[in-house]
């Protein structure tokens, strides 16, 4: 399955690039376990960041940022077959869960609950 990993990226960072990079690392942490279980992990920022940069994005939270970041997740959710919601406050991740739920896409809150990951998560 293509599984969107959703959790805090910008939330709680004050737009500090170092803190946002730490949050991206946390989002990426379960990606290998998902891959080992036969899934394809996806993170919205993996798509949104290069699109934003290519479009001339300059400041986190600017109009261009807002135009790209949340819509990317919505578009990805048209393709994803599941969402892994990581802990932490995030309006964007909460919105991803809302969209997934409305579309009947399963949402998991623990890696070990994702099909095939029960024996991989430790």
- The pLDDT score that the predictor gives to residue 58 is 84
User: What CATH number corresponds to the domain at position 58?
Assistant: 3.40.50.10400
Domain that holds residue 33: 2-112
Residue at 122 is within a domain: no
Distances (CA, A) of 51 to 5, 56, 58: 19, 9, 12
Q: Per residue in 15-49, pLDDT tens? A: 999 999 999 999 999 999 999 999 999 999 999 99
Residues 6+ apart with CB under 8 A from 74: 99
User: pTM of the full predicted structure?
Assistant: 0.92
Is 121 contained in some domain? no
Rounded to an integer, the average pLDDT of 64-75 is 91
The pLDDT value given to residue 98: 96
The pLDDT tens digits of the residues spanning 70-83 come to: 899 889 999 999 99
- Tens digits of per-residue pLDDT, 85-109? 999 999 999 999 999 999 999 999 9
Q: Is residue 72 part of a domain?
A: yes
In a domain, 120, yes or no: no
- As for how many domains the chain has, the answer is 1
Residue 122 confidence (pLDDT) = 46
What is the Cα 112 distance to its own chain's centre? 17
17 Cβ contact partners less than 8 Å away, ≥ 6 residues apart? 60
pLDDT at 119: 74
């Amino acid at each position: 399955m293509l599984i969107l990993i959703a959790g805090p990226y910008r939330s709680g960072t004050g737009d500090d690039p170092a803190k946002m990079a730490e949050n991206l690392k946390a989002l990426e942490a379960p990606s290998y376990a998902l891959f080992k279980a036969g899934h394809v992990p996806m993170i919205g920022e993996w798509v949104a960041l290069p699109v934003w940069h290519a479009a001339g994005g300059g400041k986190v939270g600017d109009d261009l940022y807002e135009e790209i970041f949340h819509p990317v997740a919505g578009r990805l959710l048209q393709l994803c077959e599941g969402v892994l919601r990581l802990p932490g406050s995030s309006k964007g991740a909460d919105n991803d869960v809302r969209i997934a739920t409305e579309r009947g896409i399963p949402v998991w809150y623990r890696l070990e609950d994702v099909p095939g990951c029960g024996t991989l998560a430790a």
